[in-house]
Chain A
């Protein structure tokens, strides 16, 4: 039976090779990687609001730290697209000095993951003799750092109309877009449309 071990190994290799699962992330287009989340205050009546104003720039949050405001092409496209979508929903855009009923803040959330990985077999590729060191010397494994950046855009809609009576700014609607290429200006209108499509209550 020992003579069949080679055959078994060959078959095992075939199983391992063919048995690999289909990797879901390899079968997504950039648009399909994105996720759109919305949440609203069920006590809010969106038909009672008439006017809105969107902040003129986007807050930038990096790894949980607020580092200021930004207004690149992507951020500008989001502000314009949001203005258009709100107007199409029946709300009137006004300046922030005109006491809008709804105020909208946009926040760019950037998260950076840094990891370190260890490769133990570098020594196989470099020979200590190259640097003039002979028997007994060897290269250790190497550490390598990697970094993954993940971007998301959050929207928060605050009720200014009832702020005085409630003594608080209530977040009546919030949204989050995550995924690949979300700040590409060509993608922005469709992304904002998706948020409004899944929020049918957001209408006068």
Chain B
């Protein structure tokens, strides 16, 4: 309920801001765009070996600046929380004479912060604006593992982040300043710690965009 209330407040605030500047000759293609989206993450490869459940706890925000009619460049920060609790099981530890029985909980947070470039196939006046986007930057990682209630791993790292995205912008106001965004994204996130090659995941995103002038 709290979440719904929060989303409603944000949506109303954005609509109010957007509607307040309804200029007749406004061209949204020339203004910075702020975007905020909710994200669902699906683990792949090395991440899936440690957390194989879908993450419903993710967000990203971006600020993009236009370069001509079709290109945008800017900054994106993303957050995706992966968590999984495995049922109690017995694991060999160290040499083969030691066994540990415990519930293992893995908690991994990926926070890719990337410089992004976007190409929009149609103009900013189109009713539906498909685009592709790519980014490169740093993935701030927090990896924690618990055996029962006892911490086994607690490490923060900064690693490479590369991501690609395809989606559509759907303006909903007459001046095209405000609208919805739907996208699918792939994150390539090398890790190479604790025998885990990578923390790759793909995700779907949905949220709002607003032109800032």
Interface residues of A (CB under 8 A from B): 1, 3-4, 6-8, 10-12, 14-15, 17-19, 21-25, 27-28, 31-42, 178-180, 194, 197-199
Contact = CB atoms under 8 A, between A and B. Distances in A.
A18 to B, nearest CB: 6
A10 B9 CA distance: 9
Contact of A198 (B3, B17, B99, B144): B99
A24 to B, nearest CB: 4
Interface of B: 3, 6, 9-10, 13-14, 17, 32, 34, 36, 57, 59, 61, 79, 81, 83, 85, 88, 90, 93, 96-103, 105-107, 109, 142, 144, 146-150, 210, 212-213
B107 A21 contact: yes
Nearest to A179: B148
Contacts of A40: 97
Nearest to A13: B6
Given A1-B32, A38-B98, A179-B149, A11 B9 contact: no
A178 B150 contact: yes
Contacts of B83: 21-22, 24
Given A11-B36, A15-B61, A27 B85 contact: yes
A35 B105 contact: no
A191 B104 CA distance: 17
B6 to A, nearest CB: 6
Nearest to A17: B6
B10 A14 contact: yes
Given A21-B109, A22-B81, A35-B149, 16 more contacts: A4-B212, A7-B14, A10-B9, A10-B13, A11-B36, A14-B6, A14-B10, A15-B36, A18-B6, A21-B107, A28-B148, A34-B148, A35-B150, A36-B100, A38-B99, A178-B148
B149 A180 contact: yes
A194 B6 contact: no
A194 B101 CA distance: 8
A180 B93 CA distance: 22
A197 B89 CA distance: 11
A8 B75 CA distance: 14
A112 to B, nearest CB: 17
A22 B102 contact: no
A197 B213 contact: no
A22 B57 contact: yes
